Amino acid sequence: MNNKLDTRDRFIITASRLFQVQGYHATGLNEILKESGAPRGSFYYHFPKGKEELALEAIKLSSETIQSDIKNTLEKLSDPIEAIQAQIEKIAEFITKEERMQDLSISLLALETYSSSECLREACKSAFISFVNIYVGKLMQAGINEEKAHELSLVIQSMIEGAITISLAQKDGTPLFAAAKQVSVLLSTKY
């Protein structure tokens, strides 16, 4: 049983990385099989509905990893402005140094699949909502009412996702660093 779980996990981890870096449509099953090192015959055993079912699990894994990263960073600083800036700047550093391109965003998957797969669109939507809700919690801890915290968090997450896209296109974290600076402006009405 452990071997089956290990094989399944290898598929999910590999697919998660490849989908985030290359995209859903640019990543073929043969590439996932080769990079995972998992036995070819076991793919449909673990994912009888094919690549889309694997993508759902990959989105779930990516979402959980990103959520954990956001939570860990926000918990380190009590001031919400400093905490959110630290999260954005950390992403900017990863992109600037080209240290890591995965587990930063699921935007590529969302953009590629929103019109072709309703279940993948819904999975991406749920992931984005979970990211926003983490920021909502941080802002509410600082005394911002829930409605305002949700609105601000939606703007923050949108700003982050857009800045990630531009930063990746430029291979430079400058747009993210600029977004981080604007968090204080955005939240200054409360403070």
Q: What is the CATH number of the domain that holds 34?
A: 1.10.357.10
What domain range is 89 assigned to?
A: 2-187
Q: Are 96 and 173 in contact (CB under 8 A)?
A: yes
| The predicted structure's pLDDT at residue 1 | 39
pLDDT digits (tens, 9 = 90+) for 13-62: 999 999 988 899 999 999 999 999 988 889 999 999 999 999 999 999 99
pLDDT digits (tens, 9 = 90+) for 113-172: 999 999 999 999 999 999 999 999 999 999 999 999 999 999 999 999 999 999 989 989
Query: How many domains does the chain fold into?
Result: 1
Whether residue 90 has pLDDT greater than 80: yes
Q: Are 85 and 180 in contact (CB under 8 A)?
A: yes
How far is the C-alpha of 153 from the C-alpha of 133, rounded, in Å? 7
Q: What percent of the chain is modeled with pLDDT above 90?
A: 80
Confidence of residue 100 (pLDDT cuts 50, 70, 90): low
Whether residue 4 has pLDDT greater than 80: no
